[in-house]
Amino acid sequence: MESSQLELNSKLLNSCYDGDSELVQELLDFGATVFCSDETGRTPLHFAAASGDVKTIECVLNAGIPWNSIDDGKYSAGDYALQTANSKEAYDYLVEFGYKTELVLKNLGKSNVPITTVDTSTEEFKNIKESNKESQDLGKETSINKELASNIDYLNSPITYIGDRLLDAQNNGVMMEWEEPIMYQHALAMCKRNDELPTSTSEPKLKVLNVGFGMGIIDSILQTFNPKLHVIVEAHKDVYNFMISQGWDKKPNVIILFGRWQDKLPELQEIGKFDAIFFDTFGEFYQDLHQFHTSIFGIKDKILLEPSGIYSFFNGLGGHNLLFHDVYCKVVNYDLNLLGVDTKFVPVVVDDDSISEEAWKGINRPYWMLQQYNLPICTLKKQS
């Protein structure tokens, strides 16, 4: 790169940090590239967010830089807005911009939620930089999940139960024991009725469905509430064999459906509506979660949830970064609303030990690193 271009880009980064939106626009018009970065991978968006100036943030986003860019330390613009600028206004603007962008990309079939970033050191960022596509295309992301096996590959690969964790063949965490307090809160939210919680001695009333057994954490909790019927859908052979070894097939109120949930929908329809439904699968994209929502809520005479029932899911959407998580919570809320479902997110504090470096030792990619978990509680809208 010529020294004049380097100097121009350096001025752009400095003016972004100063929050000088007019100068930023002048530099961009003069030929500075919004796809430049410093030696630590910080882009004009990071510097603009650090300034806290919304107009400057708007300027660089409109120039085409992806809203979800991360620097070499895996920090997003949202981190800089909150931690450096201490500006909720700037952070909220980033959330709203990311949300609107994801809706556009989702409708174009180009969005890969849940875990989405654009790393400034990757070929993808360089390709975006070189091609200088229109701004609505520049949010096109590479999901970390693309580096994982696809759902089918995951199901055909071995997984291993090791102490407090369940790992896939690439040492990615499928489920870990630290989730137990969160899963308990999910179970409470789904099973409590009129502020009363069923016990092991209560009259069996609830029909519950869980998609994705994993380590059996939430299913074990659900059993303590003495459900009338407890249906579990599990697609991985190793997990299914583990369930059998633990005697889940011998529990009188449990039905195990071995296979992908997509293939088990007819059987679920035959069983009928459920009072509580939980969804927590591994190796799938947001499109799969949305497909599940469409399958259980999208056709009026095939809705799987009772009118008074409660649905929830493991909300790991963008769980490694607060900005991404907040954006994707808005996306899923929007999609569920279109399906006639009200969603509220209940904050649950995550223990510091659960997101410590030691807790994730040996895990290829931590899937949750936030201090607050937003637990979704979903109910059908009242029919007028």
Residue 123 has pLDDT above 70, yes or no: no
Backbone angles phi, psi at 212, to 5 degrees: 105, 95
pLDDT in tens, 312-335: 999 999 999 999 999 999 999 999
CB under 8 Å to 2, separation ≥6 — which residues? none
Task: Give 262's Cβ-side CA count (13 Å radius).
Answer: 9
pLDDT of residue 138: 28
pLDDT in tens, 108-120: 776 655 444 455 5
132 and 204 together in one domain: no
The more confident residue out of 131 and 203 is: 203
CA–CA dist 181, 160 (Å, integer): 22
Domain count, the chain: 2
pLDDT of residue 149: 45
Residue 223 has pLDDT above 60, yes or no: yes
Last residue of a domain, one of 83, 118, 145: 145
In the chain, the percentage of residues whose pLDDT exceeds 90 is 74
Q: Which residue range(s) make up the domain with 332? A: 151-380
Considering only 129-133, 249-253, 305-309, 379-383, which range has the smallest mean pLDDT?
129-133
Assign residue 111 the CATH number of its domain. Answer: 1.25.40.20
Question: DSSP letter string over 321-359?
Answer: -HHHHHHHHHHHHHHHHHTTEEEEEEEEEPPGGGGSTTT
114 and 202 together in one domain: no
- Give strand ranges (E) for the chain: 69-70, 116-119, 142-143, 160-162, 165-167, 173-176, 207-211, 229-234, 254-258, 274-279, 305-313, 341-349, 372-380
184 and 289 together in one domain: yes
8 Å CB contact between 239 and 155? no
160 bridge partner residues? 167
pLDDT in tens, 323-377: 999 999 999 999 999 999 999 999 999 999 988 988 898 898 889 999 999 999 9
pTM of the model: 0.88
